[in-house]
Amino acid sequence: MIPLPLIIPENNPSLPQETFARVVRDPATGQRSLHANAFFDAGDILCSFAASALQEQPDYLTLQLNEHTHISLKPDVLQFTNHSCDPNVFFDTTAMQVIALRSIQPGDEISFFYPSTEWKMAQPFHCTCGAIRCLGWISGAADIPLAVLQQYQLTAFIRSQLSKQSLL
């Protein structure tokens, strides 16, 4: 990782910021997104994360660790990581690290594949990520064909759910 000076977005300096990434608010839509502050190679660790809170049921901001554990993310900026069907990071819930899946340039939006951690999402949505392989409806790994999921890096929890399912 090559550290660059932290850039605070002029439009909203009160948004949470970290050295590895910054939160940007689109003034037109109000939508917020996370953007890299540095260059990362595939396999690099962008940051470690931890739970700032635990809950038994998911909501639209939580990350799933196992069947009954959903966490709020620390550092706070990670809650602004949007979904993409062609993600550039993976949330490894075993190592508790955010890992680059390919090279990321400073300024690139940081995105992850929500079903890589979420079995059944609290707020399914119609994806408009624009990726060639966009799946459209995103509601969690439980609703995605195995052949599609296998193209993605998945958490140990999601893999264990899939192996349970295939035994049925």
DSSP state at residue 40: B
Interface residue with Zn ion among 46, 71, 77, 85 (CB under 5 A) is 85
Cα 130 to Cα 15: distance, rounded to the nearest angstrom: 26
Determine, following the binding rule CB under 5 A, whether residue 109 of this chain makes contact with Zn ion: no
Which residues touch 23 (CB under 8 Å, ≥6 apart)? 9, 15, 16, 17, 32, 33, 34, 35, 77, 80
Cα 158 to Cα 141: distance, rounded to the nearest angstrom: 7
Over the window 14 to 53, marking each residue x when it contacts Zn ion by CB under 5 A and - when it does not, the resulting string is ----------------------------------------
Determine, following the binding rule CB under 5 A, whether residue 134 of this chain makes contact with Zn ion: yes
Q: Which region among 38-46, 70-78, 124-132, 139-147 touches Zn ion (by CB under 5 A)?
A: 124-132
Determine, following the binding rule CB under 5 A, whether residue 142 of this chain makes contact with Zn ion: no
Sites of contact with Zn ion (CB under 5 A): 85, 127, 129, 134
